[in-house]
């Protein structure tokens, strides 16, 4: 896939990994629509990132917000080549003591948001496949917590395991439509992740590591698919 002038949507683009994704894709001359709830923050970031970064206020938990955001992307850009489902939140605690709201917000953000955005993107990508024989690329950011359960992370684990199952099913549903789906499972990353708890990992990966890998995925040949990718720091404790 050629990146220059391609159109990407990045959710959770106002900070952390999502912000680094946006910066990197703009540096590769893509048009990047950043989705997040903090529009004021993204508007300030646009001065830094450049005019190829287009902020849109969107709460990925809201069906109406998501549909409005994707309608705006298509109205302005006329196409959609890449969707990066990055928005996520963590609220940690033992299952027997976890507040219902903490469970709900993780399911709605981490899993429902991935579903809503993928559902909104797929029709346009299918249309593009009919025109050019390649539809686009959906990349879902899960977590090592989507592969391994841990005490105190039951809700977060459940949401990320859900992303894994959703990604595998979606990949099989749309691969014949020329749409790639990759699920990424990062280990510990230095970022302002919402709800991040204390970790024994002191030597974490950098957001740039994930962004460089993202570019590699996007630049692969159209008929080459990496459906799952696990990323870890080599020496987590230095």
Residues labelled catalytic: 156
Helix (H/G/I), strand (E/B), else coil: 183: strand
Q: What distance in Å separates the CA atoms of residue 114 and residue 86, rounded to the nearest whole number?
A: 8
Q: What is the phi/psi pair of residue 58, to 5°? A: -160, 130
Q: Output the CA torsion 225→68→113→34 (10° steps).
A: 70
For 196-216, give the DSSP string: ----S--SPBPHHHHHHHHHH
For 104-140, give the DSSP string: HHHIIIIIIHHHHHHHHHHHHHHHHHHHHS--EEEEE
Q: Which residues, including other chains, have CB under 8 Å from residue 237's CB and lie 6 or more apart? A: 200, 201, 202, 203
Cβ(24)–Cβ(1) under 8 Å? no
The two three-digit tokens of residue 113, written as one number = 């948001």
Q: Which residues, including other chains, have CB under 8 Å from residue 174's CB and lie 6 or more apart? A: 122, 125, 126, 135, 138, 181
């Amino acid at each position: 896939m050629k990146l220059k002038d391609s159109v990407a949507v990045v959710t959770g683009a106002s900070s952390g990994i999502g912000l680094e994704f946006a910066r990197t894709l703009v540096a590769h001359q893509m048009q990047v629509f950043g989705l997040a709830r903090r529009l004021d923050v993204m508007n300030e970031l646009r001065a830094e990132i450049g005019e190829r970064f287009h902020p849109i206020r969107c709460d990925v938990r809201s069906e109406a917000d998501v549909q409005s955001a994707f309608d705006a992307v298509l109205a302005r850009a006329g196409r959609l080549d890449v969707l990066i489902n990055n928005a996520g939140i963590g609220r940690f605690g033992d299952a027997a003591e976890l507040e219902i709201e903490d469970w709900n917000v993780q399911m709605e953000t981490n899993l429902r948001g991935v579903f809503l955005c993928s559902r909104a993107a797929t029709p346009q990508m299918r249309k593009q496949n009919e025109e050019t024989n390649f539809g686009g690329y959906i990349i879902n950011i899960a977590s090592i917590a989507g592969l391994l359960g841990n005490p105190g992370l039951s809700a977060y684990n459940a949401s990320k395991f859900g992303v894994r199952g959703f990604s595998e099913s979606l990949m099989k549903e749309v691969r014949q439509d020329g749409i790639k789906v990759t699920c990424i499972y990062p280990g510990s990353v230095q970022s302002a992740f919402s709800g991040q708890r204390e970790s024994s990992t002191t030597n974490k990966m950098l957001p740039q590591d994930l962004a460089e890998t993202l570019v590699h995925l996007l630049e692969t040949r159209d008929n080459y698919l990496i459906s799952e990718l696990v990323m870890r720091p080599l020496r987590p404790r230095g």
